[in-house]
Structure 1
Amino acid sequence: MSAAHRYCVYLLTNATRSVLYTGITNDLRTRLHQHIQSRGNPKTFTGRYQCYLLVYFEYWPDPTAAIAREKEIKLWNRAKKNTLVEQLNPTWQAIDLETWTG
């Protein structure tokens, strides 16, 4: 299945790892670029809290499943979200999609 036909649930954080943002997209690279472009914009959550570092992502084959997963994660407490991130990315390094091998 090509990336163009998959839906991605992802988590972003800020430089101090104090805030997490959960989102969904069908084009992760473009969406990450949009988040970076909104850096410092107080009208957006990611801009206000400087959340533009990708620390977790997972792909789903259809939008309904991805939306359900995003909603599920958004209801979790911070400790459970931290555990999710650490399963894929134990050191919380910012994920570069071009070089990520995790």
Structure 2
Amino acid sequence: MFVRIVKMSFHEEKIPDFLENFESVKEKIRNAEGNRFLELYQDKNDKGVFFTYSYWETEEDLENYRNSELFNSVWDFTKKLFNAKPEAWSLDKLVSLN
């Protein structure tokens, strides 16, 4: 399992735009080939900071998504709302307890 974490920071007045757009595309992202999990988090102390966590079968699945029309449309919309450069981490999941 391959995990992708993306940190995004938004102008406060742009948060509703981001959330509305995410609501409209979250099922499409989650149903992208190889995607097994998707969550969105908001920082408790800085309401303008969000994280997405997504689990992918392979790095190739993520790259295929990142090269898709869906990703390009989502990213083109979202990046206009940022107040800081986004950060991303690619991780291998080692342990998961439920």
Does the TM-score normalized on the shorter chain lie above 0.5?
A: no
Larger RCO, structures 1/2 (Cα 8 Å, 6+ apart): 2
TM-score (norm 1): 0.29
Q: TM-score, normalised by structure 2?
A: 0.30
